[in-house]
């Protein structure tokens, strides 16, 4: 397990009321960081998780807001930074598949304008909004950005054409931001494969097994696997502009 002394450091994790984001909050907080847990304003899980983690002695605060909102994303980041007092790491984790079930690639009619707009505004433009708002604080602290992409952005089949395109765009955005914010801010991404999260938990055992059978490690990715990679990228000072696949060797069988 990767550990680091992050006492005195401040972290903002977007989309953190469950799954990968929540595990990232716990991971950074347990290393001593003060962490802002972003959640949608109407998502009761967010305040509940903040209370739970605070009861464990972790320094976690709530940062309600929607990264897909043109004006709200920047306001959320600014408010979180003001409450934290500084910002050393931005975890751009907020994202959506905008569907309960994967949409067959052949079903082009399902890719409506509204479907595309929701996914791109959250997964791609939302990440940019947060990075732009956080940039001055991160430059001051010589900090880092780590975004949650997906193997779907690396050419693997994802939940929809729009989802894969948004994550491919996020990988490109990671490379561009690394150039734009160098040399003071490092910008990287993780690209998870099939992760054991609330979204995939209801899937049938047969459906999950098909993906597991295509992975070298013969298991699903756990949120902790992704969060530990985020921690490594946030602390490793010689890596920038990279996307690390965390997929148990998916597609290499």
Q: Under 8 Å CB-to-CB from 57, ≥6 apart: which residues?
A: none
163 in active site: yes
d(CA 18, CA 25): 10
- Contact between 127 and 96 under an 8 Å Cβ cutoff? The reply is no
Tell me the CA distances in angstroms from 20 to 24, 36, 186, 195, 198, one per residue in order. Answer: 6, 15, 21, 8, 10
Q: Count the neighbouring beta carbons within 10 Å of the beta carbon of residue 213.
A: 9
Give, as one character, the DSSP assignment of residue 106.
T
- Contact between 239 and 200 under an 8 Å Cβ cutoff? The reply is no
Q: Which of 33, 163, 229, 243 is catalytic?
A: 163
d(CA 143, CA 33): 13
Across the strands, what pairs with 39?
64
Which residues participate in catalysis according to the annotation? 163
């Amino acid at each position: 397990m990767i550990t680091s002394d992050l006492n005195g450091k401040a972290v903002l994790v977007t989309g953190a009321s469950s799954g990968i984001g929540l595990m990232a909050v716990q991971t950074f907080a347990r290393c001593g960081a003060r962490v802002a847990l972003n959640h949608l304003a109407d998502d009761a899980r967010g305040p509940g998780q903040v209370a739970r983690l605070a009861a464990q002695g972790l320094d976690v605060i709530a940062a309600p807001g929607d990264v897909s909102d043109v004006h709200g994303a920047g306001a959320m980041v600014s408010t979180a930074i003001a409450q934290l007092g500084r910002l050393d790491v931005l975890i751009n984790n907020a994202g959506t598949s905008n569907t309960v079930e994967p949409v067959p690639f052949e079903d082009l009619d399902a890719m409506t304008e509204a479907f595309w707009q929701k996914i791109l505004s959250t997964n791609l433009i939302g990440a940019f909004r947060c990075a732009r708002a956080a940039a001055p604080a991160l430059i001051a602290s010589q900090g880092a950005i780590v975004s949650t992409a997906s193997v779907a952005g690396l050419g693997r089949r994802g939940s929809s054409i729009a989802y894969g395109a948004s994550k491919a765009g996020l990988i490109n955005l990671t490379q561009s931001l690394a150039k734009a914010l160098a040399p003071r801010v490092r910008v990287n991404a993780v690209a998870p494969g099939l992760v054991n999260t609330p979204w995939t938990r209801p899937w049938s055992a047969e459906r999950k097994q098909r993906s597991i059978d295509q992975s070298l490690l013969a298991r699903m990715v756990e949120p902790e696997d992704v969060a530990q990679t985020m921690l490594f990228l946030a602390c490793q000072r010689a890596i920038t502009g990279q996307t690390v696949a965390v997929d148990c060797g998916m597609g290499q069988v």
